[in-house]
Structures are given as C-alpha cells and as structure tokens.
C-alpha cells in the first residue's frame, strides 16, 4: 500500500511536469481543454500530499494515516469524477490517441484506487489505533 501511495504521488507530479514542459500528455490542443486542465494542479498537489502523508503514516503505523488515506481516496474519486464528466461531455473518449489513453488510465485509477483507499483505510483504523498503544 505504501508503494501504491508513493507511485500515485510521483505519477501525479510527473504528469504536471510533462503537461507544462513538453505537453506530451495533452489530449488535444483545444483551448477549452487546456483551460480546464490548468485548473487541476492545486487539487492534484493536495492529492499527492495526502498520498505521501498516508504512506508515511502507514510506514510509522500512526493513526493519522487513516485521515490522510481516506482524504486521498476521496480526492481521487472527486478528481476522477470531474475529469470523466468533462471527457464525456466533450467527446474526448471518442478522440482516442496516446494522450487520451493515458487520461483514460488515470480515470480508471481514480475510480478503482480511490474507493479502494477509502475502504482499506477505514478497515485499518482499529489496527492503527491499537498500534499506538
């Protein structure tokens, strides 16, 4: 779980570095898409931070990992929902290219790993509370 949380954080940061440098992850050059995507870095930074905090909390077996993990799971679901709705409303999935396939993979990750984190950390809350004793 710690590795998956770190991978989520690192991939998020790498995505934005590529987005703002080479643009290789741009699904389209349309201005509305670029404006929409530029609204995400702060929320994604919050998500990446939560993933790192949750991973570190798990490594240390601290109860506060539960809060960070549940928040990270919720952020993934929320961000995935925003992205998927935009893609559906704008016919982005119909324009499948390499960048859009990457977006679809991110969407899938958000809607699988997000609920998984919510469930995992909720079930771990008692174990982590007992580890503190």
Per-residue pLDDT band for 10 (boundaries 50, 70, 90) equals: very high
Q: What percent of the chain has pLDDT over 70?
A: 97
Averaged pLDDT, 90-117: 96
Q: What is the pTM of this model?
A: 0.92
Sequence-distant contacts of 6-9: CB under 8 A, at least 24 apart:
6/51, 6/52, 6/55, 8/47, 8/48, 8/51, 8/72, 8/76, 8/109, 8/113, 9/47, 9/48, 9/49, 9/51, 9/52, 9/55
């Amino acid at each position: 779980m710690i590795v998956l949380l770190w991978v989520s954080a690192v991939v998020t940061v790498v995505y934005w570095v590529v987005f703002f440098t080479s643009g290789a992850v741009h699904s389209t050059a349309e201005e509305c898409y670029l404006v929409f995507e530029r609204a995400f870095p702060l929320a994604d930074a919050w998500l990446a931070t939560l993933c790192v905090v949750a991973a570190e909390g798990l490594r240390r077996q601290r109860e506060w990992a539960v809060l960070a993990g549940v928040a990270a799971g919720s952020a993934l679901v929320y961000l995935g929902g925003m992205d998927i709705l935009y893609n559906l409303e704008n016919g982005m999935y119909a324009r499948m290219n390499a960048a859009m396939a990457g977006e679809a993979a991110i969407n899938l990750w958000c809607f699988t790993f997000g609920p998984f984190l919510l469930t995992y950390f909720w079930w771990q809350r008692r174990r982590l509370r007992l580890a503190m004793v």
